[in-house]
Amino acid sequence: MTLNKGVTKFTLFFIPLFPTRTRYALTCTWCGTTAPIGKREAESLKTQLQG
Identify whether the C-beta of residue 36 lies closer than 8 Å to the C-beta of residue 48.
no
Amino acid identity, position 13: F
pLDDT tens for the chain, residues 1 to 51: 899 999 999 999 999 999 999 999 999 999 999 999 999 999 999 898 886
**Which string of b and e fits 8-23 if b means at least 16 CB within 10 Å?**
eeeeeeeeeeeeeeee
Going 29 to 35 to 36 to 39, the CA torsion angle's sign is negative
36 three-state secondary structure: strand
Q: What is the pLDDT of residue 1?
A: 86
pTM: 0.76
Helices (H) and strands (E) in the chain, counts: 1, 3
